[in-house]
Amino acid sequence: MKHFKIIKKLLFLGIFCTFCIFIGIFLYAKLSPKLEIKAANSIAIYDNSQTVFFHGSDNKEWVSLKDISNNVIMATISTEDKNFYKHKGFDLLRILKATYINIINRSTKQGASTISQQYAKNLFLDFDKTWKRKWDEALYTIRLESNYSKDEILEGYLNTINYGHGMYGIENASNFYFNKKAKDLDLAEATILVGVPKSPSNYSPLVNYDIAKKRQKVILDLMVKNKYIKKDEATNAYNEELKFYGKKDENNSTTLMYYQDAVLAELKKIDSIPKNYTDTKGLKIYTNLDINAQTNLEKNITEELVEENDLQASAIMMNPNNGGIIALVGGRDYNKSQYNRATTAKRQVGSTMKPYLYYAALESGFTTSSSFTSEKTTFTFSERDDYSPKNYNEKYGNKAISMATAVSYSDNIYAVKTNLFLGSDSMINVAKRVGITAKLEDVPSLPLGTNEISMIEMTAGYAAFANLGYKVHPHLIEKVEDNDGNVLYKANNNKNLVLNSSIAYILNNMLTATYDPLYIDYNYPTAIGLSSKLKHTYSLKSGTTDTDEWYIGYNSDVVTSVWLGYDDNQNIPSKAALYAQNIWYKSIESYEEGKEDNWYVKPDNVSAVLVDPISGKAVDNNAEKKKLMYFIKGTEPTINQSVFDEKLNIIQ
């Protein structure tokens, strides 16, 4: 009996303490400054002309509860929180039920968040699943419930949740999906929209119509169960034929959302940005986006791939002088696939890997005239199987060719010989210096691009060549301000010299051989079709594997990268190279339109010598075929001197 009294007292004390804690929390919430509920998702993103191209919920699109269709309100409450008007922010019975179901099924699929909790969660920049974040969300839920009415909370929630395709808030979503105001949505339209926020990338009717309809059926059944509508109303709504609009009032680009998603992903990684919107009352994000470049890039991709339904594309245009990304396409149509191939995917890069090799060779004493024999070759290794690389279409000169010729034809035999001569560490070292973080396997096929690298890293790597040797940090955001104009973040555009500028200049000139008619001999330059189309001078390298097609080219103004392939890694069509080539040249020429051909100025320690372009040997002005090539002074060939001789393994 004595023990029972002690237990009873301890239990009473525990309940009393718990009660006091809750009272204290509610008093704290009540006395705390009132939350700015319109701050959730209040983001404005600007392009490089300081014009807004995306905004989340703000006063312009905010609509009062009376201006939202009752169909939306009923469907939202019935689906998300049927006891919304009865609880004080937390539905304890629902929490207990969800916990029980999750324990029984050994999963965490059953949720129990109320509308108030979800709204509190939307006040944060990201959704980290830490205990601190959950505590903060709980505290914000209490503060919301203590300072606002249920109608005000519901109104805020409906004006700030994500309905997919960059549409935050019911008014934006209604205009986008159905070209009408939120107050005019009928039951069928409302239940389709209410189903989207659970997983915008999956339940958007523009992305997965069948899945969206299944979700709509669940919502209609819940509305019947909770006595908001009758069974025949649900049936009629489900069977109603819906007509989707799927357009924005402005910047109606199908790829612009890839840029926006990348901006928001970058924003979350910036430590100086507060992790909740209430500390900033919203954010103004200034980016490097050139809307004309973005629109034109999308247009070129769409026009070139009109006959290819499933072939995917990604592309990046970057300012090589600061790493600012001025255009980014992560796929052909964001409405169909939100996967950002430009920032996330890693693909085999093919021969676009070779410039890293040839820079390493030039740095090690090779010159543009250094020659290897182009012929069928089997390489034998003591600890590996034999390796027999092949040239495209199995074309070989069966003679010594210069490095410039090897670049022009993308000769694989020359590349493998060079890599073996130098040792793979040289090439890997150069790639790492310019910003390639992907793991590069030391295999014989390394210079042929069999390793997988992301497009954003490859573009930044080429930027180091384009700016004559400086490593840049690829980024989309230049500056972030709060709504009061206080600068929260400014991009550090400092760049580090990691390459020899004179050697980069020589490499850049050598990469023009890919479309130079002077290299027509036993083979053709890989991009010879561009020789009459380009109005400006560019360094250019293509890369082709069975599954991937790349074009990366640049001048001192811009680096442009284009990739084509299938998400399931099936073999690409034979026309993929032509598609990629056309997308690349049309996009970069459009960006350079009206500008002078501002090619690089020759450094003082570099000399120009007339050579036979194929052999690399020096010739005089009377030679039938001659090309002006560039060399570090003291390494240039003369008519009386031979160039690199692979048989003797010497460099003269």
In terms of Cα–Cα distance, which of 231, 251, 247 is closest to 239? 231
Q: Do the Cβ atoms of 573 and 310 come closer than 8 Å? A: no
Identify the DSSP state of 168: B
* Cα separation, 547 vs 572, whole angstroms: 5
The encoded tokens of residue 635 equal 């390494």
3-state secondary structure of 567: coil
Which amino acid belongs to residue 197? P
Encode 526-561: b = buried (16+ Cβ within 10 Å), e = exposed: bbbebeeebebebbbbbbbbebbbbbbbbbbbbbbb
Distance from CA of residue 21 to its chain's centroid? 46
- Verify whether residue 408 is a known catalytic residue: no
* Cα separation, 143 vs 149, whole angstroms: 11
Among 351, 370, 502, 542, which one carries the catalytic annotation? Answer: 351
3-state secondary structure of 609: strand
* Cα separation, 160 vs 167, whole angstroms: 9
- Verify whether residue 189 is a known catalytic residue: no
* Cα separation, 555 vs 466, whole angstroms: 6
Q: What angle do CA 479, 480, 482 make, to 5 degrees?
A: 150
User: Where in 291-427 does DSSP place strands (E)?
Assistant: 312-318, 325-329, 346-348, 371-374, 399-402
CB atoms within 10 A of CB 373: 16
Contacts of 634 (CB under 8 A, 6+ apart): none
- Cα–Cα separations (whole angstroms), residue 193 to 83, 460, 552: 21, 40, 41
Q: Do the Cβ atoms of 169 and 161 come closer than 8 Å? A: yes
Number of H-type helices and E-type strands within the chain: 20, 18
Which region, left, alpha or beta, applies to residue 192 given φ > 0 means left and ψ of -120 to 50 means alpha?
A: alpha
* Cα separation, 98 vs 92, whole angstroms: 10
Contacts of 621 (CB under 8 A, 6+ apart): 610
Burial of 138 (0-12, 13-18, 19+ CB in 10 A): middle
Among 57, 61, 69, 80, which one carries the catalytic annotation? Answer: 80
Q: Do the Cβ atoms of 533 and 508 come closer than 8 Å? A: no
Q: What angle do CA 584, 590, 592 make, to 5 degrees?
A: 100
In terms of Cα–Cα distance, which of 370, 617, 650, 477 is closest to 47? 477
- Cα–Cα separations (whole angstroms), residue 584 to 56, 304, 316, 511, 554: 32, 11, 10, 15, 10
* Cα separation, 452 vs 429, whole angstroms: 17
Burial of 342 (0-12, 13-18, 19+ CB in 10 A): buried
* Cα separation, 289 vs 48, whole angstroms: 5
Catalytic residue list = 80, 351
